[in-house]
């Protein structure tokens, strides 16, 4: 028995009237009106109405059809019939109906969008939750957004790399690391490809990018943090922070433009009218941003990070994507370059969406001695960084780069409230399964 479909829902048109097709998918709905039974089949691309008229259908098939459970998997071979009253302008008159996998009843959740479910119920039965059209639409868009990222960076001369996720040392120190056992040694899951992408500058690859998992052991409980996220990282030699900010804003613009062109059905399923942000993005200095925060009653001292509430206030004052540049050196990581003439300030930036931070980047220190000194000054043991520091001793070009959160990019683009809705199987403090 063949189990391959000939057409997706989207591949059938009323003009195919009289053709025999095989379609396959999930039983979305059964409407049994006695003399006539409608079976709505759902596949990845849409819905197909299968119409069984009692008088004209083989009795065994009619009986099997009306007794199907919702969400069972079926394969239907039948004839396309133009039908104005059907949702897509056609229906399928079945000749063969194969139930390939029966769905038990009751279902763990409803996938027809008629009954909402809370986030835990949805995550517990994630495969089922992902059958919802809006979920599929969001992940198709995520896919196209990443294609746009790769195409853009390839055109800009970046080489995609894959750096290790199991590492011996913390990137930035601190406690935000998941320790693991590596044979008889302690190791960690990498919190960022930072050190490795910088080493690749010493390798002479000039421009590298990576799209990969990052692990942060922070005990967040927010709608914008995960413990495992997907970072889009770049590092570029012979470039400063302003150069890589230019790359970043053009990348954001390109991703929006690509998605708005390529994902019209998905955007409309989500009810989104995507607006492509205009370039260049505004650049506020940290001091400007602090001033706005103060005007809105947020009492933040110079040298502190803004925090969620102030970030929101600044974001709504600006109203579109923007950069915060020239951060205090003391709150940026040790590898960040300071301005020679004003060492309290660093050659650093965050890219902000009005709702939240999307990316952080900077020009990096490329002097071995200064870097070693900065590591020590941050209270870290330079000995643990030998593998990294070594790359700075035999010809390290000046370089700059950034890390952009894929989930943050997608959730802000699609106006999704909870970051958990733009990853398939979120990892947060409470959830390790599925």
Which residues lie near Mg ion (CB under 5 A)? 360
91 is catalytic: no
State the Cα–Cα distance between residues 1 and 146, nearest whole angstrom.
Answer: 38
- Give me 404's structure tokens: 């952009």
Q: What Cα–Cα distance (Å) separates residue 263 from each residue in 43, 130, 273?
A: 18, 18, 11
237 is catalytic: no
* CB 10 to ligand ATP: min, Å: 33
* Residue with the CB atom nearest Mg ion in the bound state: 360
* CB 231 to Mg ion: min, Å: 11
State the catalytic residue, choosing from 133, 258, 321, 408. 408
Max CA distance (Å), the chain: 89
> Which of residues 90 and 281 has its CB atom nearest to ligand ATP in the complex?
281
> Which of residues 94 and 405 has its CB atom nearest to ligand ATP in the complex?
405
C-alpha angle 168-402-328 in degrees, rounded to nearest 5 = 95
216 is catalytic: yes
> Which of residues 97 and 419 has its CB atom nearest to ligand ATP in the complex?
419
State the Cα–Cα distance between residues 380 and 374, nearest whole angstrom.
Answer: 9
DSSP 3-state of 112: coil
State the catalytic residue, choosing from 225, 353, 364, 366. 225
> Which of residues 303 and 397 has its CB atom nearest to Mg ion in the complex?
303
> Which of residues 9 and 310 has its CB atom nearest to Mg ion in the complex?
310
State the Cα–Cα distance between residues 101 and 27, nearest whole angstrom.
Answer: 11
- Its sign, for the CA torsion 136, 142, 146, 147, is positive
> Which of residues 46 and 173 has its CB atom nearest to Mg ion in the complex?
173
State the catalytic residue, choosing from 172, 218, 220, 431. 218
Binding site for ligand ATP (CB under 6 A): 216, 225-226, 229, 231, 357-360, 403-405, 407-408
State the catalytic residue, choosing from 7, 28, 132, 224. 224
The residue among 260, 138, 244 whose CA lies nearest residue 197 is 244
* CB 43 to ligand ATP: min, Å: 32
State the Cα–Cα distance between residues 10 and 140, nearest whole angstrom.
Answer: 15
* CB 71 to ligand ATP: min, Å: 32
Residue 407 binding result from Mg ion, ligand ATP, none, given CB thresholds of 5 to 8 Å by partner type: ligand ATP
Q: What one-character-per-residue DSSP string does 141-187 give?
A: HHHHHHHHHHHHHHHTT-EE----SEESS-SS-SS--EEEEETTEEE
5 is catalytic: no
* CB 414 to ligand ATP: min, Å: 15
Residue 254 binding result from Mg ion, ligand ATP, none, given CB thresholds of 5 to 8 Å by partner type: none
224 is catalytic: yes
State the catalytic residue, choosing from 210, 311, 357, 407. 357
* CB 291 to ligand ATP: min, Å: 20
- Give me 21's structure tokens: 């097709």
State the Cα–Cα distance between residues 394 and 169, nearest whole angstrom.
Answer: 22
CB neighbours of 238 closer than 8 A, spacing ≥ 6? Answer: 206, 397, 398, 399
Residue 293 binding result from Mg ion, ligand ATP, none, given CB thresholds of 5 to 8 Å by partner type: none
301 is catalytic: no
State the catalytic residue, choosing from 192, 231, 346, 360. 360
357 is catalytic: yes
Residue numbers annotated as active site: 216, 218, 224-225, 357, 360, 408
């Amino acid at each position: 028995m063949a189990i391959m479909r000939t057409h997706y829902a989207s591949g059938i048109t009323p003009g195919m009237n009289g053709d025999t097709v095989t379609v396959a998918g999930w039983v979305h709905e059964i409407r049994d009106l006695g003399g006539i039974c409608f079976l709505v089949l759902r596949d990845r691309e849409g819905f197909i109405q299968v119409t069984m008229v009692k008088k004209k259908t083989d009795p065994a098939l009619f009986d099997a059809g009306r007794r199907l459970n919702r969400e069972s998997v079926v394969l239907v071979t039948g004839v396309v019939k133009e039908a104005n009253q059907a949702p897509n302008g056609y229906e399928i008159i079945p000749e063969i109906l194969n139930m390939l996998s029966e769905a038990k009843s009751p279902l763990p959740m409803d996938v027809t969008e008629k009954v909402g479910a809370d986030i835990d119920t949805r995550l517990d039965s994630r495969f089922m939750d992902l059958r919802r059209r809006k979920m599929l639409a969001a992940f198709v868009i995520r896919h196209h957004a990443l294609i746009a990222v790769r195409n853009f960076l390839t055109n800009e001369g970046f080489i995609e790399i894959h750096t290790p996720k199991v590492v011996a040392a913390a990137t930035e120190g601190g406690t935000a690391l998941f320790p693991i056992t590596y044979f008889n040694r302690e190791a960690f899951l990498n919190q960022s490809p930072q050190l490795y992408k910088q080493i690749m500058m010493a390798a002479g690859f000039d421009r590298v990018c990576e799209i990969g998992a990052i692990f942060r052991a922070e005990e967040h409980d927010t709608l914008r943090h995960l413990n495992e996220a997907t970072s889009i990282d770049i590092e570029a030699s012979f470039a400063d922070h302003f150069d890589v900010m230019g790359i970043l804003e053009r990348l954001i613009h390109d991703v929006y433009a690509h998605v708005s062109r390529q994902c019209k059905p998905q955007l409309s399923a989500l009810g989104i009218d995507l607006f492509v942000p205009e370039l260049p993005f505004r650049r506020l200095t940290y001091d400007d941003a602090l001033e706005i925060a103060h005007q809105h009653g947020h009492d933040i001292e110079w040298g502190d990070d803004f925090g969620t509430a102030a970030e929101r206030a600044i974001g709504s004052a600006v109203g579109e994507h923007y950069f915060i540049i020239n951060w205090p050196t003391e709150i940026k990581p040790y590898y960040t370059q300071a301005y020679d003439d004003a060492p309290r300030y660093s050659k650093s930036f965050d890219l902000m969406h009005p709702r939240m931070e999307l990316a952080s980047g900077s020009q990096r220190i490329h002097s071995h001695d200064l870097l070693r000194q900065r590591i020590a000054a941050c209270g870290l043991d330079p000995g643990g960084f030998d593998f990294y520091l070594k790359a700075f001793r035999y010809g390290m070009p000046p370089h700059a780069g950034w890390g952009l959160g894929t989930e943050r990019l997608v959730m802000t683009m699609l106006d999704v409230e909870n970051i958990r809705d733009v990853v398939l199987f979120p990892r947060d403090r409470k959830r390790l399964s599925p």
